[in-house]
Amino acid sequence: MFIDPHVHMTSRTTDDYQAMQAAGVVAIIEPAFWLGQPRTEVGTFKDYYSSLVGWERFRSSQFGIRHYCTIGLNSKEANNQALAEQVMELLPLFVCKEGVVGIGEIGYDDQTEAEEKYFRLQLELAKELDLPVQVHTPHRDKKRGTTRSMDVIVEHNIDPSKVIIDHNNEETAQEVLDRGFWAAFTIYPFTKMGNERMVEVVRQYGSNKIIVDSSADWGISDPLAVPKTAALMAERGISAEDIKMTCYQNALSAYGQSGQMKESDWLQADQVDQTQLYQGNSVLRGQRPDQESGISNIIQ
């Protein structure tokens, strides 16, 4: 069993869902992020958040995978301040809904003043509601941005054990772990971590508070990054216990602090029934379900 605690399924196909399910992924967390091009209206944020708690969750369930999400204003779009103000008003409508396991992904991109302002406002919201926080660390000037993110969090008196610092690398891991935060590593080809490096990180630091995710999205990325990394770890002599911790248990322990994510959610799940409807729509689009066979010409 695997959990991918960072994957943008909105951008992925049903083939991905099937492959993930076949590879043993039982639960996923979809952070609210940007969509590759900036939004220009608050209404598109509203519908996006609604789809994360609604249709995407249902779609995932139809492939036997439990879907959770984090809700937040991402750092990139925080720079459009007129829009950001309106989005901030929306957040209280969504952050406590069923299956929302935290505020995220929030943090820095260019490390501007606007980004800092909305990062802090959202940290206060998380604190008020006692929710976990999922932090996106910047691609550029990563090391300084990661340190700065943690400094701000500590300044707001938020317990590091409620915060997952994501997109770490060999340069940031030590400080994140030393300061008591969860350290998540994104296995994403070319721009973030490769999984051979990930094996060595686990070999060096062990599995305490270390989390593997894919961050698969609309770019060249791999929704099977977690199961593939687990397999590579096994091949290269990492213990089964460490694999379980980094590819399943730590994500559950970190985000389970929301009270919205429990192992029984998938261990005691109903059988998949693809004929179920969500607001009148199914994933079948008129096709017959995989599980059934035999077609009748009679239409009753």
Partner 1 sequence: MDSPAYFDVSSALAFLKKLLLKRLPPPSHDWLLTKLTLLETDPAAKNLYLFFGAAPRFITEEVLVITEEEQSQAKQLREGWYIKDMTSVQASRILAVLSYSSQPQESFFHSLEQLFTTAEMNELVALYRALPLLPYAPSFKLRAAEGIRTNMSVVFDAIALHNPYTHDYLDDDAWNQMILKALFMDRPLFKIWGIDNRSNYSLSKMISDFAHERWAAGRDTSPEMWRPIKKDPSEAIYDDLRKLLLMEDPIQQAAAVLAARALNTPSAKSLLEEFEATVSGLDANTLNWQAIGKRWRHLKKLSSN
- The residue ranges that bind partner 1 (CB under 8 A) are 46, 49-50, 53-54, 89-90, 92-98, 100, 129, 259-260, 277, 279-280
Q: Report the nearest approach of partner 1 to the CB of residue 48 (Å).
A: 11
Q: Report the nearest approach of partner 1 to the CB of residue 106 (Å).
A: 18
Nearer to partner 1, 73 or 212 (CB): 73
Cβ burial of 161 (10 Å; 0-12, 13-18, 19+) is middle
Q: Which of 166, 241, 181 is nearest to 206 (CA)?
A: 241
Give the integer Cα–Cα distance in Å for 195 and 175.
21
Nearer to partner 1, 95 or 193 (CB): 95
Q: Report the nearest approach of partner 1 to the CB of residue 129 (Å).
A: 7
Which residues fall within 8 angstroms of residue 296, CB to CB, at 6 or more apart? none
Q: Report the nearest approach of partner 1 to the CB of residue 169 (Å).
A: 35
Nearer to partner 1, 35 or 90 (CB): 90
Nearer to partner 1, 61 or 137 (CB): 61
Which residues fall within 8 angstroms of residue 212, CB to CB, at 6 or more apart? 184, 185, 187, 198, 225, 226, 229, 230, 246, 247
Structure tokens at 182: 């969860």
Q: Report the nearest approach of partner 1 to the CB of residue 291 (Å).
A: 23
Structure tokens at 274: 């693809």
Nearer to partner 1, 100 or 183 (CB): 100
Task: Find out whether 247 and 224 touch, Cβ atoms under 8 Å.
Answer: no
